[in-house]
Chains A and B, each alone.
Chain A
Amino acid sequence: MISIRGLTVRAGSFQLQDVTLEVPTGGCAALMGKTGSGKTTLLEAVTGLKPIISGTIVLDGVDVTRRKPAERSIGYVPQDGALFAGMSVRDQLAFALTIRRRSRQEIDARVGELAAMLEITDLLNRTTVGLSGGERQRVALGRALAFHPQTLCLDEPLSALDDLTRSQMYRLLLQVRQQTHVTTLHVTHSLAEAHQLADQVYRIENGQVTAAD
């Protein structure tokens, strides 16, 4: 469950004021708004990448407001995937578990499981060079899910994809939610995407977040 109360965060010349929203465990909330309205800023505040001025962020009953990004158990997928250059797809998927010093067996098993779920098994030994937009986003999603996060933050993950790939990703994201029961905060520009994937839709406008009808 994601519970944000009275969150105020500055981003350049404007600030998000008194943001309050709640996403039930396993649910998905879409955040919509114009370019520069502060959608990414809110996501960064939730992940702990941007310091906040006031408010609280509670994830699954734990107040993580003062915790570092690494201690929040959030899987984060930025717009372009931000894959690590020069690393194989296998190493990208294994990254979070390698950092946690898990055993080789456990890592291999989890990487195989993720690759099968995201249909990227044939890409495991490739580097990120030459991957298509859809493949990059699948790898980024797998990397974010590898350590079984309780929350998933997706920042316009489908915006750069063609229609066919996007519809494939809709199916995949719904499947991932069904299998992992991860609570998701999904930033998007597309109303169709929000209606397809989210249980609730929030709009950001003039620094305020409101529940859309």
Chain B
Amino acid sequence: MSKDKPTSIESAGPRYRVASDVPFYLCLGTIGGVYVLLIVGLLLADVAYVVGSERAPDAVQSQWAKDHPQWAWLADNPIARALAKREIRYSIKLSLASCTVTTILSLWVAVPIGYLLSRHQFPGRNLMDAILDIPIALPPLVIGLSLLILFQFAPRWLREAVVFQIPSVILAQFMVACAFAVRTMRATFDEIDSRREQVALTLGCTRAQAFSRVVLPEAQRGMLTAATLAWARSLGEFGPLLVFAGATRNKTEVLSTTVFLELSIGDLEAAVAVSLIMVLAAVIVLVIARVWGSHHLSI
């Protein structure tokens, strides 16, 4: 009998049984799960802190609150108390306005740059690509400081109109938000088949018509993702704002600086309440990006 006689599958089966995949996935799930739990935990802690905080002793109850004591917490809770402050209401308004203007400006810049980088080879393209990453890589404080120094070289009228004024809030937010919008738009255009544009050119389109009639409609979801990303980045911007715009109440104060100012005067409850307002805004933006934005692009 030959030594090399093949072993039957039946007899080989038990000896070569494939190990279970459960430990592998358990390991991945544990590592990932810890981080997810940490994120959920810190948000829940904020909510628990606000819900568990005591009522203000000097709170004046409305007639409605007196009639419906079980709902009195709706009118007397840290968020409601924070919203009652004039300077916090101002910072919410300025945040909403500045983030929206920054988002529009970011899209105006990100769409053409993203398209150029995605579709065309030109001298200095790689250098331009690297420069566009600088705002993402630089420490935020350094961006603020650099903006401050840049405006030292600007004419006096321009410096006085921008630095420590509302335009400085928008410019500081724009510097970082736009870099993220550019990356998103570039990835969006990378995913759109350039052959469609080529067909449009043969059908009689100019470059501009092919871009506006074929490429831009396809890029809508990516644009929404870029916009929400820019908006969320702007809302969370703090370092450059503090240096370049300052944190003057009722002037250049936005939500992130409100948290800082409330903490600095020891009002932890108001700081957490404003943080929760920011969390709510971030969640709304995330939902918009997830539901209507591009599913291929991460936010």
Partner of B195, one of A80, A96, A144, A146: A80
Query: Which residues of the other chain, B, contact A96 by a CB distance below 8 angstroms?
Result: 203-204
Q: Nearest chain-B residue to A72 (Cβ)?
A: B202
Residues of B within 8 A of A164 (CB): none
Complex alpha-carbon distance, A77 and B213, angstroms: 19
Does residue A74 face the partner (Cβ distance < 8 Å to B)? yes
Q: Report the minimal beta-carbon distance from A103 to chain B, rounded to whole angstroms.
A: 16
Question: B201 near A68 (CB under 8 angstroms)?
Answer: yes
Q: Is B113 at the interface (CB under 8 A from chain A)? A: no
Asked whether, in the complex, the Cβ of A49 is within 8 Å of the Cβ of B198, the reply is yes
Is residue B298 within 8 Å, beta carbon to beta carbon, of the partner chain?
Answer: no
Q: Are A75 and B202 neighbours in the complex by a CB distance under 8 Å?
A: yes
Bound: A84/B205 CA distance, A: 13
Residues of A within 8 A of B200 (CB): 84, 95
Complex Cα distance, B209 from A100, in Å, reads 12
Number of interface residues of A (CB under 8 A): 28
Tell me which residues across on chain B come within 8 A of A47, comparing CB atoms: 198, 202
B:204-256 near A, CB below 8 Å: 204-206, 209, 213-214, 217-218
Interface residues on B, range: 10 to 19
Tell me, yes or no, whether B199 is within 8 Å of chain A by CB: yes
Closest approach, in angstroms, between the C-beta of B203 and any C-beta of chain A? 4
From B193, B203, B206, B217, contact of A95 by CB (8 A): B203
A65 to B17, CA, bound (A): 66
Contact residues in A for B204 (Cβ distance below 8 Å)? 70, 96, 99-100, 147
Kindly report which residue of chain A lies nearest to residue B198, judged by CB atoms. Answer: A49
Q: Is B198 in contact with A143, judged by CB distance below 8 angstroms?
A: no
- B202 A69 Cβ-Cβ under 8 A: yes
Q: How far is the CA of A47 from the CA of B203 in the complex (A)?
A: 11
Does residue A112 face the partner (Cβ distance < 8 Å to B)? no
Kindly state the separation between the CA atoms of A95 and B214 in the bound complex, as whole angstroms: 10
Q: List 30 A-B contacts (CB under 8 A).
A: A47-B198, A49-B202, A68-B201, A70-B201, A70-B206, A74-B202, A75-B202, A78-B198, A78-B199, A80-B195, A82-B195, A82-B198, A83-B196, A84-B196, A84-B217, A85-B196, A85-B217, A95-B200, A95-B203, A96-B203, A96-B204, A99-B209, A99-B213, A140-B199, A143-B203, A144-B199, A144-B202, A144-B203, A146-B203, A147-B203
